[in-house]
Chain A
Amino acid sequence: MSAEPTSAERLAVDALLGPPSPSGDGEPSQPAERRVAFGGYRRSVESRHMLLPALHAVNDAIGWVSAGALNYICERLLVPPAEAYGVAGFYALLSMEERPARVAHVCDDVACRTMGGAEILECLGGRPDVHPSPCLGQCDQAPAVFFQRAGEGDTVLVGATCDRVTEVLEGGSVGEVRPVVPQAGDPSLRLLKRIGTVDPNSLKDYRDTGGYQALARAVEMGPDRVIAEIKASDLRGRGGAAFPMGIKWEAVARSPALPHYLICNADESEPGTFKDRAIMEADPFAVVESMTIAGLAIGAERGYLYIRAEYPLAQSRLQNAIDRSRAEGLLGADVAGSGRTFEIEIRRGGGAYICGEETALMESIEGKRGEPRNKPPFPTQVGLFGRPTVINNVETLINVLDIVLEGGAAFAEIGTGESTGPKLFCLAGAVARPGLYEVEFGRTLAELIDLAGGVTGTGRIGAVMLGGAAGVFVGEDYLDMPLTFEDARARGATLGSGVILVFDDRTDFPDITRRIAQFFRDESCGQCVPCRVGTVRQEELLARHRGGEPLDEDLFEEVARVMMDASICGLGHTASTAIRSVIDLGLLERSRG
């Protein structure tokens, strides 16, 4: 399709990729030549990973990606336009149609919807610059709105109202958002110890509070001993799968295939989750230091931090932390005097929950559609760019600092037998003090809810969503459950990403359930049949029920089973679990009408 870029679009792309070389790429070409790849197959493969950043560059500067802009990006990167279009259209935050310079994405997901999100959409929903949004990771300060502002950068409004959203859309500004950490300053905190007490932009503050001691220690110890300590700590992944971190590190460190890659998964998008955002916003150097230790341990020279686009503040703080650390020799060609190279590059998602799935995330970095890969092979064998890759969640990674400083055995003493260390929980919904809480593994659900000030609303629990939309709803009989991997497993629950979202007994559960079904349908990548169609049929079943028909539980069960058994990835496997738990609790029938 022939279409020329505007000069503004060219500038936006050139600012990212550099000026076009005189040898051909990016030269104004005849439309017929547009499909010819100058520079060969190899260069096409090598430049493909810049596709999403280039699409972002145009979308950020102009507000949308026109056919001309897409063509220009394709010429510069030697990407076929049909493929680039397929990639761009995969991401909810990239627009392929002209739209207003400011666009509001109003969260009406499980946490925000009853806290004012749905009302904002009701009062502004007809506007072309207002769209509903899945969870924005600001559940403790609901309702949240994410703004895309062409040429000005993205921003977030919390505690939003209809009037405030209108103001911002008409040119107003938003205030600074601070993470809510009610325990701030408590000396027993490990993961949250700096949050709210240091300047997140200051490397000096970070060092004055113990920062970069772990890296120095890790350099002394060498990779093998660091990995031995990680294994001794029995640290398990905090992203939802609870996989032992040491096993991943060791597998990649020992792999003869080179290069090795590290990825920090900061695409936190599980509804109800905001823990990684708080860490990245308030203690970004800890993330950089942890990644550096990991990179040295597994023999990687490059680490990618893949962060969801809805976290602009975290992104700028991390970039600052990376830049300052590099300026002081803590990143770059000779990391902390180790003689080893390590670099960190931030990659931004585009509004796709599925890209939090580790292999979809890798596809996304590689410039493809975020479609999960079939496993095996696992990322430790065939990961990013086909190379051995360690991918860890933000919260998981920052535990490395204490493990290196205190030793794996000491760390393993914290918590319980299978669930070692401290754990972050995201408390939101009907609690008096929503926010991010740190406890040792083993505290009960009731203790956590008490820590957050107890149940508000009617004061009586209707249900608690554990682990996110991919988790389960539990009733009061789970209040005594210790929050550990083993207890959750034994009782058919999950900790998932650490979500504890409390609903009082006046909640419209059929509405919440239907919203979850909508979420999975919207966020399914569409690759495999069970999930692509199953999430639609599931939503239809619940919509019929909401319209007054009895729920066809047998059919629901059949749909759920095929998604769980035959989908490619975890999204399909868990797309029904929360909904099924609501049905099992009898909440779908009891609270209807």
Chain B
Amino acid sequence: MAEVTLAVDGTTVTVPGGSTILDACRALDNDQPTLCYLDNLTPVNVCRVCVVEVEGNRTLVPSCSRPAEEGMEVATDSDRVRHSRKMVYEFLASSVELDLVDEETVAWMDRYGCDPDRYGPPADPSGDRDQRKAGHHRIGPGTAAETVHQPVKVDNELYVRDYSRCILCYKCVEACGEDAQNTFAIAVAGRGFDARISTEFDTGLTDSACVFCGNCIGVCPTGALMFRSEYELRQAGMWEEEGQTVTRTICSYCGVGCNLDLHVQDNRIVKVTSPMDHSVTSGHLCIKGRFGYEYVQEVGDLAVTPIDEILRRARIDDRGPRRHPEPRA
């Protein structure tokens, strides 16, 4: 396709045909906020935080997916753009737990002057989000701001789902589906504010089609999906990201050659990721690469660390002692 030339905030830029407005912004080092966009997933353009104003368009357009066109005049910092971005962040911050989002997002929220408190105090958490029916909701007095808060789903040893942190960016659904894993264990269920990520009939992951590849964790931007190890350590107040090292290695299970980033705290692997820009994985792994690291620290005569204790206790809480032998003390 031929190149197209457009203007972003008054600066002319030429990009290859098929590029999006976001691509054009990036070519100019004109950074734009995104939440539901990820380079290794198909854009769903649902979060609307990347909206920009395009001359001649009645409404704002999502820069992540709108193709750049010849002669387009794009404004990324107009009053309308700033207002919409501020409101999107405020809407999310007033309804979702956002304390684990990345620093970049926090910086954008500061820049746009978000004040989520102005919608009122958060409403009491609800235990029935998974049972809510489309087209019906309880009509409250409006004195508190409704949220998506609900109990954490802990139903397996590998990862937890804390949908109080879910901004419904669809990334996990895409990673579970055609963009990576083709497993389709989760989808968006319900409607409107009660829309949520769910297995069929909200069945537990171990009873669902989930293959525990953890690719949903890899793409989650808010910490709603989290390694069980990270979750337990956070619960115990022992998660120390600053003290962790990240070691890149190659997965030893098969010949594909996936890169692994081992996140290590106190000589224990506490999380495994894969670099998104790695040509083999594009950030995605399988169950072995992501979760199959226990053998590294279960052989030999390693001393039991406080981390081991925390994780062991969690497993015992789940279902009694594990069937295979405990690591030697």
Please report A residues at the B interface, Cβ cutoff 8 Å: 1-2, 35, 67, 70, 80-86, 89-92, 96, 131-132, 134, 351-352, 369, 374, 518, 521-530, 532-537, 539-547, 555, 558-559, 561-562, 564-568, 573
Inter-chain contact B201/A80, CB cutoff 8 Å: no
User: Is residue B233 within 8 Å, beta carbon to beta carbon, of the partner chain?
Assistant: no
**Chain B residues in 8 Å Cβ range of A352:** 134-135, 191
Q: Closest A-chain residue to B202, C-beta based?
A: A85
Inter-chain contact A533/B193, CB cutoff 8 Å: yes
Inter-chain contact A82/B145, CB cutoff 8 Å: no
Q: Closest A-chain residue to B133, C-beta based?
A: A92
Given A1-B200, A35-B209, are A80 and B137 also a contact pair (CB < 8 Å)?
no
Bound form: Cα–Cα A91–B135 in Å: 8
Inter-chain contact A530/B136, CB cutoff 8 Å: no
Bound form: Cα–Cα A113–B187 in Å: 36
Inter-chain contact A544/B191, CB cutoff 8 Å: no
Bound form: Cα–Cα A542–B208 in Å: 41
Bound form: Cα–Cα A313–B134 in Å: 24
User: Is residue B222 within 8 Å, beta carbon to beta carbon, of the partner chain?
Assistant: no
User: Is residue B320 within 8 Å, beta carbon to beta carbon, of the partner chain?
Assistant: no
Inter-chain contact A532/B80, CB cutoff 8 Å: no
- Chain B contributes a number of interface residues (CB within 8 A of A) equal to 57
**Chain A residues in 8 Å Cβ range of B198:** 82, 85-86
Inter-chain contact B135/A522, CB cutoff 8 Å: yes
Contact of A529 among B65, B167, B203 (CB under 8 A): B167
Bound form: Cα–Cα A546–B87 in Å: 24
Bound form: Cα–Cα A320–B168 in Å: 43
Inter-chain contact A530/B88, CB cutoff 8 Å: yes
Contact of B140 among A132, A522, A543, A565 (CB under 8 A): A543
Which label, helix, strand, loop or mixed, suits the secondary structure of the A interface?
helix
Q: Among the listed stretches B45-53, B254-262, B266-274, B276-284, which one makes contact with chain A, having 4 or more residues with CB under 8 Å of it? A: B45-53
Q: Closest A-chain residue to B131, C-beta based?
A: A97
Q: In whole Å, how far is A69's beta carbon from the nearest beta carbon of chain B?
A: 11
Bound form: Cα–Cα A374–B62 in Å: 9
Inter-chain contact B199/A89, CB cutoff 8 Å: no
Sample (7) of A-B pairs whose CB atoms are under 8 Å apart: A82-B185, A90-B189, A521-B192, A525-B192, A528-B48, A540-B146, A565-B84
Q: In whole Å, how far is B308's beta carbon from the nearest beta carbon of chain A?
A: 33
**Chain A residues in 8 Å Cβ range of B76:** none
**Quick one: which of B75-118 are within 8 Å of A by CB?**
80, 83-84, 87-88, 91-92, 94-95, 118
User: Is residue B293 within 8 Å, beta carbon to beta carbon, of the partner chain?
Assistant: no
Of A89, A555, A564, most buried by chain B (CB within 10 Å of CB) is A89
Inter-chain contact A82/B191, CB cutoff 8 Å: no
Bound form: Cα–Cα A522–B137 in Å: 7
**Chain B residues in 8 Å Cβ range of A539:** 139, 142
Q: In whole Å, how far is A43's beta carbon from the nearest beta carbon of chain B?
A: 15
Inter-chain contact A526/B135, CB cutoff 8 Å: no
**Number of A-B residue pairs having CB atoms within 8 Å of each other in the complex:** 195
Q: In whole Å, how far is A72's beta carbon from the nearest beta carbon of chain B?
A: 13
**Chain A residues in 8 Å Cβ range of B45:** 374, 528, 568
Q: In whole Å, how far is A97's beta carbon from the nearest beta carbon of chain B?
A: 8
Inter-chain contact B47/A529, CB cutoff 8 Å: yes
Inter-chain contact A526/B194, CB cutoff 8 Å: yes
**Quick one: which of B15-51 are within 8 Å of A by CB?**
45-49, 51
User: Is residue B9 within 8 Å, beta carbon to beta carbon, of the partner chain?
Assistant: no
Bound form: Cα–Cα A536–B48 in Å: 17
**Chain B residues in 8 Å Cβ range of A534:** 87, 91
Inter-chain contact B143/A544, CB cutoff 8 Å: yes
Q: In whole Å, how far is B109's beta carbon from the nearest beta carbon of chain A?
A: 13
**Chain A residues in 8 Å Cβ range of B49:** 529
Q: Closest A-chain residue to B35, C-beta based?
A: A529
Of A536, A537, A566, most buried by chain B (CB within 10 Å of CB) is A566
Inter-chain contact B87/A80, CB cutoff 8 Å: no
Bound form: Cα–Cα A521–B137 in Å: 9
Please report B residues at the A interface, Cβ cutoff 8 Å: 45-49, 51, 59-60, 62, 65-66, 80, 83-84, 87-88, 91-92, 94-95, 118-120, 133-137, 139-143, 145-146, 167-168, 184-195, 198-201, 203, 207-209
Q: In whole Å, how far is A4's beta carbon from the nearest beta carbon of chain B?
A: 14
Inter-chain contact A566/B48, CB cutoff 8 Å: yes
Q: In whole Å, how far is A267's beta carbon from the nearest beta carbon of chain B?
A: 15
**Chain B residues in 8 Å Cβ range of A86:** 187-189, 198
Q: Closest B-chain residue to A548, C-beta based?
A: B141
Q: Closest B-chain residue to A538, C-beta based?
A: B142
Lowest 5 CB-CB distances: which A-B pairs, in order? Answer: A543-B142, A526-B195, A92-B135, A80-B184, A533-B91
Q: Closest B-chain residue to A573, C-beta based?
A: B59
Given A374-B45, A526-B192, A573-B59, are A67 and B87 also a contact pair (CB < 8 Å)?
no
Of B137, B139, B192, most buried by chain A (CB within 10 Å of CB) is B192
Inter-chain contact A530/B91, CB cutoff 8 Å: yes
Bound form: Cα–Cα A91–B200 in Å: 15
Bound form: Cα–Cα A539–B168 in Å: 21
Bound form: Cα–Cα A123–B193 in Å: 29
Inter-chain contact A85/B84, CB cutoff 8 Å: no
Q: In whole Å, how far is B178's beta carbon from the nearest beta carbon of chain A?
A: 10
Bound form: Cα–Cα A524–B189 in Å: 13
Inter-chain contact A532/B87, CB cutoff 8 Å: no
Bound form: Cα–Cα A25–B119 in Å: 51
Q: Closest B-chain residue to A522, C-beta based?
A: B135
Of A2, A374, A527, A533, most buried by chain B (CB within 10 Å of CB) is A533
Inter-chain contact B190/A529, CB cutoff 8 Å: no
Of B66, B136, B142, most buried by chain A (CB within 10 Å of CB) is B142
Given A86-B188, A529-B88, A540-B145, are A565 and B80 also a contact pair (CB < 8 Å)?
yes
Inter-chain contact B88/A562, CB cutoff 8 Å: yes
Inter-chain contact B135/A524, CB cutoff 8 Å: no
**Chain A residues in 8 Å Cβ range of B136:** 92, 131-132, 522
**Chain B residues in 8 Å Cβ range of A546:** 142
Of B48, B49, B137, B194, most buried by chain A (CB within 10 Å of CB) is B48
Contact of A84 among B133, B145, B167, B200 (CB under 8 A): B200
Bound form: Cα–Cα A22–B193 in Å: 43
Inter-chain contact B65/A564, CB cutoff 8 Å: no
Inter-chain contact B120/A540, CB cutoff 8 Å: yes
Inter-chain contact B135/A70, CB cutoff 8 Å: no
Q: Given contact pairs A82-B184, A522-B136, A532-B195, enumerate 20 new A-B contacts (beta carbons under 8 Å).
A: A1-B200, A1-B203, A86-B189, A91-B134, A92-B133, A351-B135, A352-B134, A522-B137, A525-B195, A529-B49, A529-B167, A529-B168, A530-B84, A533-B94, A535-B192, A536-B146, A539-B139, A540-B142, A558-B87, A567-B59
Contact of B188 among A91, A369, A524, A558 (CB under 8 A): A369
Q: Closest A-chain residue to B96, C-beta based?
A: A533
Bound form: Cα–Cα A544–B136 in Å: 20
Bound form: Cα–Cα A290–B119 in Å: 50
Bound form: Cα–Cα A347–B149 in Å: 37
Inter-chain contact B88/A96, CB cutoff 8 Å: no
Inter-chain contact A522/B192, CB cutoff 8 Å: yes
Inter-chain contact A559/B142, CB cutoff 8 Å: no
Given A524-B192, A529-B91, A566-B51, are A544 and B142 also a contact pair (CB < 8 Å)?
yes
Bound form: Cα–Cα A564–B185 in Å: 34
Bound form: Cα–Cα A567–B119 in Å: 20
**Chain A residues in 8 Å Cβ range of B194:** 526
Inter-chain contact B201/A96, CB cutoff 8 Å: yes
Bound form: Cα–Cα A527–B167 in Å: 10
Inter-chain contact A1/B199, CB cutoff 8 Å: yes
